[in-house]
Amino acid sequence: METQKLEVVPEPEASAPAAGPRVMTGAEMLVECLKREGVEIMFGYPGGAVLPIYDALYGSGIRHILTRHEQGAVHAAEGYARVTGRPGVVLATSGPGATNLVTGIADAYMDSTPLVLFTGQVATDLIGSDSFQEADIIGITMPITKHSYQVRDAADIPRVVREAFHIAATGRPGPVLIDVPKNVANQKAVFEWPERVFIRGYNPTYTPNPTQLSKVTEAIRESRRPLLYVGGGVVHSGAAEELREFAHKTGIPVVSTLMGLGAFPSADPLFVGMLGMHGTFAANRAVMECDLLIAVGARFDDRVTGKLERFSPHSKKVHIDIDPAEIGKNVAVDLPLVGDVKRVLSAMLPEVGPVGTKAWIDQIRAWDEQWPLGYKAEPGVLKPQQVLEMLWDATRGEAILTTEVGQHQMWAALFYRFKRPRQWVTSGGLGTMGFGFPAAMGVQLAKPGETVICVAGDASFQMNIQELQTVAENGLPVKVAIINNGFLGMVRQWQQLFYDRRYAESRVGAPDFVKVAEAYGIRGLRAQTPEEAREAIREMLAHPGPVVVDFVVPEEENVFPMVPPGAGTDEMIGRWDD
C-alpha cells in the first residue's frame, strides 16, 4: 500500500496589528518630546517633584549634566544656546529648585537667549495650599519669560513642549517655562505629536515692509556721515555675513554694542569699536557726529546712549529690529523697520551702493589716533589689559570667550579682538555675576573641539565656584582666567571716582584659587608678573583638561575710557596716557 504524503501548506502570515495609540505617562511624554526636538544635552538638578521625569530620562540617550546649583544649570544652558542658536534645556524641581533659576531666566530674557525650562510642581490638588516646596513659579517668572505654561493634563504635554520650543527660538528669542505638577508627570494619556505649530496671536514679522525699506535705502544714498550701530540681534539672526557685505558695499563704518561683538570682525578696517559707557572715544564720537545712525538688532539701552538728550543729536535714526516693542521705546526714530535682520539686510543689498564715506572714515581714524585705546605698562607689574592681549596672541584670536561681569568683562571686550559671531558669550542686559563660568561649561559641551576660556573676576568666580565639580566630573577642558584685584572691581572704580575712595564693602576676600582648583582635581596656576603670565597661559593652553589661572593684578587699575553716570557719550573721561 502506498503511503500517502501529506502536503503541509503554511498558513498565511498574520498581518501585524495596526499600530494603536501609544499610552505614556506625562514624564515619558516629556522625554519623547525632547527627543523629537533634537535635544541631546540638558542641564539640571533633581528633587522630589521631578523624580518621575528623572526616572523617564534614565537610559533615554539624552545626556543630562548634573550641575551643583540650579543657577549653574541655567547659565550653562545659556552658554549652550548662545553658541548653537538652539534652545538650551533646563530641568529643576519645585520650590527652591525653581526659584534658584530666576536670575538665569531674567538674564536670558534680557539678552534674548532661547531657553526651555521645565520645573517640577506639587500635585494639582495641593497647589495654593502652601504645601512643602511649593512656589508659584509662573507668577514669579511671568515678567521675565517670553511665555509660561503650567500643564494640568498629561495629554497636553506634546503640544505644550512643541509650542515652547517654537516660541523660544522664533522672533526675538527668549526663555519659555513649563511647570509640571508631579501627578501630571505620573498621569497616563495617549501621546499625540503635533507636526505643525499654530499659535493664534503669535506671528513674528520676518519680512520688512517694502515702502519702509525704500525709505531707508534712500536715506542711505543721501547721507554723508552714515554709521552702522549693530547689536546682538545680528548674531541671533545669523546675519553676520550679510552685515559684512552691506558694510563693504556701502563703505559705512561699524560700531558695536557689547552684545554685538563678533558680528563684525574687529580687524576689519571699517570697524570703529565698541560704543557706550566703556566704548572707544572714536566710536562714541562717531555716534555723536554721524548724520545717519542705522541701528541693526540693537535696542538703544542706557549703557549705550548715556544721557538721552545728548545722544547722537545730528542724526536721522533708522531702527531695524524683529521686536516692534523695542522701536521707539528709548529713543525716537525717524525710520522704523520691523523684520528679521538677515532678511532686511538681504533685501537692502541690491538697492544700495558706495555712499562715498572716505572723508568720514578719515575723520573717524583721526579721532582714534587722537584718543587711542591703551594702558600704561609697568616693568614687573602684570596689568589686566596685558592678560587679555596675551590670551588673544596665544590663541590667535580663535578662542570662544565667556566672562563674568565687571572690570574684567570690559577689558575682555576692549582688548580681545573677535573674529566671528558666537565667539563672545557674556551677560549684557542683566549684568549677572556668576554667569561666565557655568556658561563656559555649556559652551564647551556644545563645542567640544574649541578652546573655551572664561575670563573671570575674583569676586564673580566665587558666585558659582561649586561648578568646578561639574567641570571635573565631566572632563570639560574649560580654561578659567581669573583677573584677581582683590575687589569688586567696578564697584571700587565707581567708589574711587565718585565717592572719594570710600571703599565701602567692595574689598572681597578670596581663597587660594590654586589650592581650590587642586582640591577638585583641576590644574591650578598663578601669575604675578608678565613673564609668569606668558608661561601660565602657555601651560594652560597645552594642558588637555580644565585649568584655573589666578592672574594677580593691581588693585586700583581702572577701565578707561568711561562715560560718567548722567553724562552724554561725548563727555568721556579717563585717557589712559594722561
Provide the CATH number for the domain around residue 138.
3.40.50.970
Q: Which of 190, 221, 241 represents a domain boundary (last residue)?
A: 190
Residues 6+ apart with CB under 8 A from 20: none
How far is it, in rounded angstroms, from Cα 89 to Cα 44? 8
How is 84-150 classified by DSSP, letter by letter? HSSPEEEEE-STHHHHTTHHHHHHHHHTT--EEEEEEE--GGGTTTT-TT---HHHHHGGGSSEEEE
List the catalytic residue out of 70, 163, 404, 557. 70
Residues 170 and 271 in one domain: no
What kind and span of H or E run contains 288? helix 281-289
Position 359, amino acid: A
Residues 369-389 as b/e (b if ≥16 CB within 10 A, e otherwise) read: eebebebeeeeeebbbbbbbb
Answer yes or no: is 11 within a domain: no
Give the CA distances from residue 533 to residues 70, 147, 417, in Å, rounded to whole numbers and listed in that order: 34, 46, 19
Same-domain pairing of 162 and 49: yes
558 in any annotated domain: no
Assess whether 325 and 225 both reside in one domain: yes
Residue 118 annotated among the catalytic residues of the structure? no
Q: Mark whether 182 is an active-site residue.
A: yes
Q: Which of 490, 540, 562, 572 is catalytic?
A: 490
Domain match, 54 and 176 both: yes
Q: Judge contact between 148 and 88, C-beta under 8 A.
A: no
Domain end among 155, 190, 225: 190
DSSP single-letter state for residue 264: S
Contact 275, 258 (CB under 8 A): no
* Residue 437 falls in the annotated catalytic set: no
Domains in the chain, number: 3
CB half-sphere exposure, 189, CA atoms < 13 A? 19
Q: Please confirm, yes or no, whether 490 is among the known catalytic residues.
A: yes
336 φ, ψ (degrees, to nearest 5): -80, 145
Domain check: are 388 and 535 in the same one? Answer: yes
Range of the domain at 223: 210-370
Do 461 and 505 share a structural domain?
Answer: yes
Supply the pLDDT for residue 19. 57
Residue 21's pLDDT is what? 83
Question: Which of 370, 401, 418 is where one domain is finished?
Answer: 370
The owner of cell 542724526 is: 315
Determine, yes or no, domain membership for 200: no
Q: Of these residues, 146, 182, 317, 342, which one is catalytic?
A: 182
* Cell, residue 192: 499625540
Q: Are 60 and 35 in contact (CB under 8 A)?
A: yes
Domain assignment present for 281:
yes
Domain for residue 114, yes or no?
yes
Question: In terms of domains, do 325 and 426 share one?
Answer: no
Cell numbers representing residue 536 in the block = 601660565
Q: Provide the greatest CA pair distance for the chain.
A: 125
DSSP letter string over 348-368? Answer: HGGG------HHHHHHHHHHH
User: Running along the chain, 578 residues long, what does each successive block of 10 average in pLDDT?
Assistant: 35 46 96 98 98 97 98 98 98 98 98 98 96 97 98 98 98 98 98 94 95 97 98 98 98 98 98 97 97 97 93 97 96 97 98 97 97 94 98 98 98 98 98 98 98 98 98 98 98 96 96 98 98 98 98 96 92 83
Q: Are residues 389 and 342 in the same domain?
A: no
Whether residues 41 and 178 fall in one domain: yes
520, three cell numbers: 577638585
**Residue 4 confidence (pLDDT):** 35
Q: Write the CATH number for 318.
A: 3.40.50.1220
Are 268 and 318 within one domain?
yes
Domain match, 181 and 268 both: no
Residue 180: per-residue pLDDT: 98
Other C-beta atoms closer than 10 Å to the C-beta of 474 total 15
pLDDT given at position 433 = 98
| pLDDT, the chain, mean | 95
Helix axes of 102-110 and 70-84: crossing angle, nearest 10 degrees = 20
Q: What are phi and psi of 218, to 5 degrees?
A: -65, -40
DSSP label at residue 569: T
Pairing of strands 115-121, 226-230: unpaired
Query: Any catalytic annotation for residue 560?
Result: no
Coil/strand/helix, residue 457: strand
Does a structural domain hold residue 344?
yes
pLDDT at 575: 79
Domain shared by 351 and 436, yes or no = no
Rounded to a whole number of angstroms, the CA Rg of the chain reads 27
Q: Is residue 496 part of a domain?
A: yes
Please say whether the beta carbons of 283 and 261 come within 8 A: no
C-alpha cell at 107: 538674564
Q: Is 9 among the domain residues?
A: no
Q: Which among 339, 333, 302, 300 is positioned nearest to 320, based on CA atoms?
A: 339
The C-alpha angle 555, 560, 566, rounded to 5 degrees, equals 110
